[in-house]
A and B are shown apart, each in its own frame.
Chain A
Amino acid sequence: MTTQAMPMTAHPDPLLRPGNTNCAGCGMSLGLHWIDEILGSERPYLVIPACCGIVTAGAYPTSAYGVPTAAATFASAASYATGIATVAALNNEHHPVICWTGDGGTYDIGLATLSAAAERNEDILYICYDNEIYGNTGGQRSSATPEGVVTTTTPRGKGERKKNMMAIMAAHRVPYAATLSVAHREDFLRKVRTALSTKGFRFLLMLSPCPTGWKSEPDQSVELIRAAVGCGIFPVFEVFDGDRYVINVPRDGTPIEDYVEKQRRYSGLAADPSRLRAQIDDQWRMLERMIHSGRPHV
């Protein structure tokens, strides 16, 4: 019996080529393959700032990305993408311009650039793979790192809560913003499709398992995200025009312990589960307020 190798995607050159340097169990690998599935024959420009995702590309002159890719300075993904999207539009090209960025380039150093591009409603799909840490530089805190997490710069566990990036993007009234879970494939694919077919600035936030930074087992990556969604620490939802909130996957009462106990980054247990539970409830109360205060949709 012969086994026929199945092509990963319908087109010959995938977004992420085999042989890249991502760690086993890295959320980026799954995320990029799924995004590619929805892109199909549509080929995007990629803009990637300094982060793990640019190391993924490999060393010059090779490229693990099968599409034209610009390596941007750390804070500049959204400004480079603005220039590219501007010229693409002037020339009537129909290639989406996708920023693929870490949480450092999104929540921290790139926030002003991102905010400005969102405010101008540039025709860009901005995707943050949020591993809640500076992976590239060896695991320092970012403002996306949750409270209690041990990083190389928060040796006793981070004392501050994670920044609410979705609320910030919604406050820009961008046409579309959504969170992506690699444990919920259909929902993930549908929202990438929605984002790709929307004009203007679109923001997708993917919680990206990072076995290296999270001190978790690579084969547990997807299960960890399932637990994050189930316990409610990572709500799966979408926001239209900064106003209409839709919860896509309700939390299901999974104990927070199922999530934190499988990651040694939470071992400092400044990460007190009861504090985390209270923060999760807080976050959901706020989400529910947004759902009910949105303008009625007809």
Chain B
Amino acid sequence: MGRALVTGNHAAAWTLARAGEANRIARGCAGGAYPITPQTEIIEHLRNFAFTKGRIVPVESEHSAMGVCIGASLAGARAFTASSANGLSYMTENVFAAGYYRLPIIMVAVNRALGPPWNIWVDQGDSLALRDAAWMQFYTESHQDLIDTILLAFRVAEDPRILLPAMIATDGFISSHTTMVADLPDQEQIDAFLPPLNVPHRLRFDHPATIGGLTWPRETEHLRHAIQRAMELVPTVYAEAQDEFERVFRRRPHGAMEPYHTDDAEIVLVACNTMARTARRVVDLRRAQGQRVGMVQAKMFRPFAGQALRNAIGPAKRIAVLDRNHSPGAGGVFWQEAVAALRSRPDVLVQDYIVGLCGGDVTPDVLERIVDDLSARADAVEPIWQEVTA
């Protein structure tokens, strides 16, 4: 298809559908479809795609949407779906099941605030609440990044060394309903990038087993530890997938922690999703004024790419973590992870800023105020609610 003007939802659906279609030479693809704003268009597009060997089932709930994905994946097919907010929390039980079953299911999570009150706008709290579900999680800053990351996620999830599901997050409305120019990959390119799927532990008649039944503590602990080991390998396998992506698509997709002007930075903003794009702009503005500001797009949240973050921040001694999410009683979730990853760097001041919760606008001036605050700060304090306290 080449370059086109698309919405985030269209970009996600285009990519999911063609990734599913690519498995027509193996056991096909399947998924469940259930609407919720702002991801609804994704599942509508999927229902309208003419698969050679695939079926998207219009189910009665997100719990069943993930149930269908699990069944399809257990039967060896490529499985995917999309959801948001309360849809994600409603499907939670089966989200965990997919992780613990080690099924390479792919889900696009279009971030939206969990209700009540009903608020349909962006907030990463919905996908972050699933951080412990044995899923990889990637946060994407543009339509191109979304497309590329969905493809990378299939490749990493299906790698026999990994076999874990992956969630690809994108901002509700700001990304899902906004048009941008993006390279939409052709079917032939996706066919070349994604090998036919083999789920080694799928239900099979030559080796009938019960998958997921009663398991004693010691054995279960081993299974959990194997998940941890697979998670630890993800950054390596992701980097390999980036190389392969570059070979097929002649473009380099973003890394686990993608730095921007951090080589000589004194201050670094760590941000995910569309806030990362705004942060890039603020870096440019401040650099034009001679201030050494950089930023890191925090993309690989699970596993948390701590080593990549330590490398990406460069020489900076002041880090602002931007959290469009909030764990009541604790603070921002990205901040908690960043602090843990930087525990070997007591010389670095890490300050949390809670911004844009539940759809609040995060404009360049909001981030500029944060840069000013951080430059003047002697010590890190408790998370700062930027728009509420400022």
Task: Report A's interface with B, CB cutoff 8 A.
Answer: 13, 43, 45, 47, 54-55, 57-61, 63-73, 75-76, 78-88, 90-91, 95, 112-113, 115-116, 120
Contact = CB atoms under 8 A, between A and B. Distances in A.
Nearest to A21: B214
Contacts of A76: 63-64, 67, 70, 94, 97
Contact of A82 (B68, B73, B210): B68
Given A60-B216, A82-B68, A116-B61, 6 more contacts: A59-B215, A83-B32, A83-B68, A83-B71, A112-B64, A113-B64
B79 to A, nearest CB: 7
B221 interface: no
B63 A113 contact: yes
A12 to B, nearest CB: 12
Nearest to B216: A59
Interface in B26-73: 27-28, 30, 32, 53-55, 57-61, 63-73
A79 B208 contact: no
B63 A75 contact: yes
Contacts of A59: 213-216, 219
A54 B32 CA distance: 25
A91 to B, nearest CB: 6
B211 interface: yes
A95 to B, nearest CB: 7
Given A57-B213, A59-B213, A79-B32, A73 B205 contact: no
23 contacts: A43-B208, A54-B210, A55-B214, A58-B213, A60-B216, A63-B208, A63-B213, A68-B209, A69-B203, A69-B211, A71-B213, A73-B93, A79-B70, A82-B57, A83-B67, A83-B69, A83-B70, A83-B74, A90-B27, A95-B205, A112-B60, A112-B64, A115-B60
A79 B213 contact: no
B271 to A, nearest CB: 35
The 8 tightest CB contacts between A and B, nearest first, are A83-B71, A79-B67, A71-B212, A116-B60, A87-B75, A68-B203, A83-B72, A79-B64
Most buried by A among B53, B72, B208: B208
A101 to B, nearest CB: 13
A57 B209 CA distance: 9
B76 interface: yes
Interface string B67-108: 111111111110100000000000001100100000000000
B59 A79 contact: yes
A80 B30 contact: no
Contacts of A115: 60
A118 to B, nearest CB: 11
A116 B77 CA distance: 22
- Interface of chain A, main secondary structure: mixed
Interface residues of B, number: 44
A54 B67 contact: no
A69 B28 contact: no
Most buried by A among B27, B30, B54, B216: B30
Contacts, number: 164
A80 B205 contact: no
B72 A71 contact: no
Most buried by B among A47, A67, A80, A112: A80
A45 B32 CA distance: 20
A65 to B, nearest CB: 6
Contacts of A13: 208
A58 B214 contact: yes
B204 interface: yes
Contact of A63 (B57, B69, B209): B209
B61 A112 contact: yes
Interface of B: 27-28, 30, 32, 53-55, 57-61, 63-77, 79, 93-94, 97, 203-205, 208-216, 219
B201 to A, nearest CB: 11
Contacts of A63: 208-210, 213
Contact of B76 (A64, A79, A87): A87
Contacts of A85: 71
B210 A71 contact: yes
B213 A84 contact: no
A80 B63 contact: no
B59 A87 contact: no
Contacts of B65: 79
Contacts of A82: 57, 59, 64, 67-68, 71
A120 B72 CA distance: 17
Contacts of A79: 32, 59, 63-68, 70-71, 94
B364 to A, nearest CB: 45
Contact of B55 (A45, A84, A86): A86
A96 to B, nearest CB: 12
Given A45-B203, A84-B203, A113-B64, A69 B71 contact: no
A259 B231 CA distance: 57
A84 B74 contact: yes
B74 A80 contact: yes
A194 B340 CA distance: 61
Contacts of B58: 120
A67 B64 contact: no
A90 B203 contact: no
Given A55-B214, A57-B214, A86 B68 contact: yes
